[in-house]
Amino acid sequence: MDTHYERLNRKLDKQNTTTHNPQRRHLTTYPRTVNLTGMQLTDEEQKLLDLGLQYSMQRSRKSTWTNLVLETEHAIRLLDDKPQSPFRIIVTKKLKQLYNTNHQNTIHRRQLHILKQINQKITSNNTMITRADKGKTTVIIYIHTHTHTRLQ
């Protein structure tokens, strides 16, 4: 029985030494964004485009907070009449605490600003952003080049 466990431990040790490469996790096999134009992008713009075309930007905090407050009030109204008031006080304190510590609004506003910059650059340079044929690579290409290649 001991030999069985020794053999399993050796297999595990061998597997851990051969496959463990901490740098391997961060490697990508293809570029996320390919710029086929002369348009220069800032690092922030590049990072936002590298997230891909299916990236969902964070929602505005106003609508999220409105929904949260309405759903909480609805849940409190389902309780008996007596504990509703104390729960409203507790929930108000917690929501204020969350609102003051939440920094998502700045991230959302920054991403919207960067997106507007990208949009301005694209329209002024007569370019477009599209998906490559295969993979999840985003390509920045001139509009006339794209329409010319699609017609052939």
Q: What is the pLDDT of residue 135?
A: 75
In this prediction the pTM is: 0.53
Contact present, 61 and 102 (Cβ < 8 Å):
yes
Strand partners, 34: 139
Closest alpha carbon to 45 in 130, 119, 106, 137: 119
Retrieve residue 152's tokens.
Answer: 């052939």
Distance CA 28, CA 85 (A): 54
Over 60: is that where the pLDDT of 21 sits? no
Q: What is the pLDDT of residue 26?
A: 54
- Which residue type does 116 have? K
Give the H/E segment covering residue 140.
strand 138-142
Retrieve residue 22's tokens.
Answer: 């901490």
Mind listing the pLDDT tens digit for each residue in 38-69?
899 999 999 999 988 888 776 656 777 788 88
Retrieve residue 132's tokens.
Answer: 């490559």
Mind listing the pLDDT tens digit for each residue in 56-112?
776 656 777 788 889 999 999 999 988 899 999 999 998 888 777 765 567 777 888
Distance CA 36, CA 149 (A): 14
Q: Which residue has the tokens 């699609």?
A: 150
